[in-house]
Amino acid sequence: MRTELVSEPGDVQRPNEDFASVALPASGQGGVLVALDGVTPPTGPTGCLHSVPWFTARLGGALTELAVSLMDVPPAEVLAMAIARTAKTHGEGCDLSHPRTPQATVVMARWSPERVEYLVLSDSALLVEASDGTVSAVLDDRLARLPRASLATDALIDSRLRNKEGGFFTAAADPSVAGRAVTGVLPRSSVRGLLALTDGASRWVEKFHEGDWPDCLSFVRKNGAQSLVNRVRELERADAEPRTHLGRSKLHDDATVVYAEL
Ligand SMILES: [Zn+2]
């Protein structure tokens, strides 16, 4: 088995708001990978004394620890427990009902000798390579499916669509959101590889169309996770003048790639 993890900030002047981990429990018979993408709030109050990196470190740390120590608890329940634990670490000065309270997208995959379980919430991606080489993308595409007119401004997204029925969901302070995640279980023998990508890295497919999801997994296996991030940065720089692909989104975004060859 081989694992590889790369996480780079979009801007060296700002902290990386992604979180990534790979944990291999002492039994040596399984493991877990986690990738979170902290949601950068629009400027203005968040109701919270804490930063997005503070939040992603705590949620990602709790999720990793609970996933490997409670191998029999399904991923959605583990996520709910991790959200609840993280919510408790905020102080009394934090209003956790605020729509801009720190929050993150979540990808988690866990494997044992018998099975592979996965969970995806919001717009990070998990690619699953089957033993016959076919690659499936596990995506929570609620955000992509919202009508374009709804996406006019970040403020509108925050007030009307974030963590609201009919909108899209991220891991914030409410454990019940875990029930909204895309989840699944596969026989371990049917899975050869796993690749988690935050949207700063999945741009390789989704914005720059360098290839499809299977091409992306092949690229990482052959060239390494760092090469994928490097290629995205090249494409972003080349696109900086005309801004044809990126539209109003950030020139560079935090980019995380976690690869596991089982
Ligand atoms: Zn707080």
- Residue holding tokens 């990508």? 197
> From the CA of 180, how far away is ligand 1's center (Å)?
23
| Total Cβ atoms within 10 A of residue 226 | 13
> From the CA of 128, how far away is ligand 1's center (Å)?
35
State the pLDDT at residue 162.
Answer: 74
> From the CA of 139, how far away is ligand 1's center (Å)?
29
Model confidence, pTM = 0.91
> From the CA of 217, how far away is ligand 1's center (Å)?
37
pLDDT digits (tens, 9 = 90+) for 51-65: 999 999 999 999 999
- The answer on pLDDT for 122 being more than 90 is yes
Task: Supply 26's token pair.
Answer: 């002492």
pLDDT digits (tens, 9 = 90+) for 188-225: 999 999 999 999 999 999 999 999 999 999 999 999 99
- The answer on pLDDT for 242 being more than 80 is no
Task: Supply 186's token pair.
Answer: 């596969």
> From the CA of 127, how far away is ligand 1's center (Å)?
32
> From the CA of 104, how far away is ligand 1's center (Å)?
14
CA 192 from chain centre, in angstroms, equals: 21
Q: For 228-250, what is the mean pLDDT?
A: 78
When pLDDT is cut at 50, 70 and 90, the band that residue 141 belongs to is: confident
> From the CA of 89, how far away is ligand 1's center (Å)?
8
> From the CA of 171, how far away is ligand 1's center (Å)?
14
When pLDDT is cut at 50, 70 and 90, the band that residue 250 belongs to is: confident
Residues 6+ apart with CB under 8 A from 56: 17, 18, 19, 36, 37, 38, 102, 104
List the beta bridge partners of residue 226.
Answer: none
> From the CA of 257, how far away is ligand 1's center (Å)?
27
Looking at domain 2-261, what is its CATH homologous superfamily? PPM-type phosphatase domain (3.60.40.10)
Q: Three-class SS of residue 215? A: helix
> From the CA of 53, how far away is ligand 1's center (Å)?
11
What is the average pLDDT score of the chain? 90
